[in-house]
A = this chain, B = another copy of it.
Amino acid sequence: MSVAFAPAGMAPRQARVLDTMLVAQERLVAGFEGVEADATAEEASSAGAEEGGGPRRFGDHGWLRPAGGGGRARVIEDGLVFERGGVNVSAVVGERVPPTLAAQHPGTEGRPWFATGVSLVLHPRNPHVPAFHANFRYFEVGAAAADAGAEPLAWWFGGGADLTPAYPVAEDVRAFHGALSGWCARHPQADYPAWKAACDAYFTVRHRGEMRGVGGVFFDELTSHGDAGRSFVADLACVEDGIATLLPAYLPLVARHRRDPYGERERRWQALRRGRYVEFNLVYDRGTLFGLQTGGHIEAILMSMPPLAGWAFDHQPAPGGPEAAALAFYQPRDWAQGGADADPVDHHWRTA
């Protein structure tokens, strides 16, 4: 694919990964627009849509970075199913690798770098549909953009996906983790238990001692050893398969809950959980802080913010209710094994 923001003179490998990200963006947006197109009249009415307004589409916002590269943000707001969300692709370059990264990769000091990635965040309107985040990225240091034949000094992939339900249901969480665990099982360089533990640790709102949701997987610095060209191809294949896992992991949960009834009470709890999401993203999320500190494209970075978030003093959910049951889910738990550990509170409130 050719895009206006692509950095000039990308090496073939860089162009190849950017292409992966652009194809991913197209497919993901198509998948989510399909969800919007299936909205019933009742969903449209909940969304405050006027009769006959038709399904909502993702907008298309290109942006350029003065120092090189740019991105394309596909954003939906006020959708019938997705209240706010987006799928963003960027590809950026620099002449000198940031010092903190160079320190981790000796020999790369002062060399040019290239980064590209796709990230998505979805905040559904219905409080029973989980919010969803995923991100896959590629970083390369050392080969000048024009120096097309050279191997980079260092390269790696990173990424992950995590689920944030306001009203978690154990079978959904197991299905989501099962899809990610299945993806990892298909690639020797992927390590579900380690990546799941990294996700639990990363997406924790540390000042509250709770996860923002029910986790997923998170990995960084994936760069397989062995023949450089071959391991790059294998790692890219692993990432592409991870991207292909996103819709099958998430869309069934949307389908299962998009028509669940809800009212003011559920919207209020959703707003409070979104407040925790905001706390995590603005206080701890490395990508967000790196973007804000380095003059990234603010609106694309803060695409992750929910449409509405709430705070209340020392909120304590009513004992025995679904909100109290939800809290037990926001701690690390073994989801893929389906062991007894994974289901201590499931549904007991549903039969109450």
* 12 A–B contacts from the bound complex (CB under 8 Å): A75-B313, A206-B292, A207-B292, A271-B308, A278-B278, A282-B283, A283-B289, A302-B311, A306-B311, A308-B308, A308-B310, A309-B310
Binding site for B on A (CB under 8 A): 59, 61, 73, 75, 77, 84, 86, 206-208, 271, 275, 278-279, 282-283, 289, 292-293, 295, 298-299, 302-303, 305-314
Contact among B77, B293, B295 with A312 in the assembled complex (CB-CB below 8 Å): B77
Would A314 and B299 count as touching, CB distance under 8 A? yes
- Tallying the copies of this chain within the complex gives 2
Looking across the interface, which residue of chain B has its beta carbon closest to that of A274? B309
Chain B residues with CB below 8 A from A307, complex form: 310-312
Looking across the interface, which residue of chain B has its beta carbon closest to that of A282? B282
A4 to B169, CA, bound (A): 43
Chain B residues with CB below 8 A from A289, complex form: 283
A302 to B278, CA, bound (A): 12
Chain B residues with CB below 8 A from A61, complex form: 313-314
A303 to B283, CA, bound (A): 16
Decide: A282 near B278, CB < 8 A? Known: A77-B312, A314-B61: yes
Looking at A73, A305, A313, which has the most chain B CB atoms within 10 Å of its CB?
Answer: A313
Would A305 and B275 count as touching, CB distance under 8 A? yes
Would B208 and A298 count as touching, CB distance under 8 A? yes
Chain B residues with CB below 8 A from A271, complex form: 308
Q: Given contacts A86-B313, A207-B298, A278-B309, could you give 12 more A-B pairs where the C-beta distance is less than 8 Å?
A: A61-B314, A84-B312, A206-B292, A207-B293, A275-B305, A279-B302, A282-B282, A283-B283, A299-B313, A307-B310, A307-B311, A308-B310
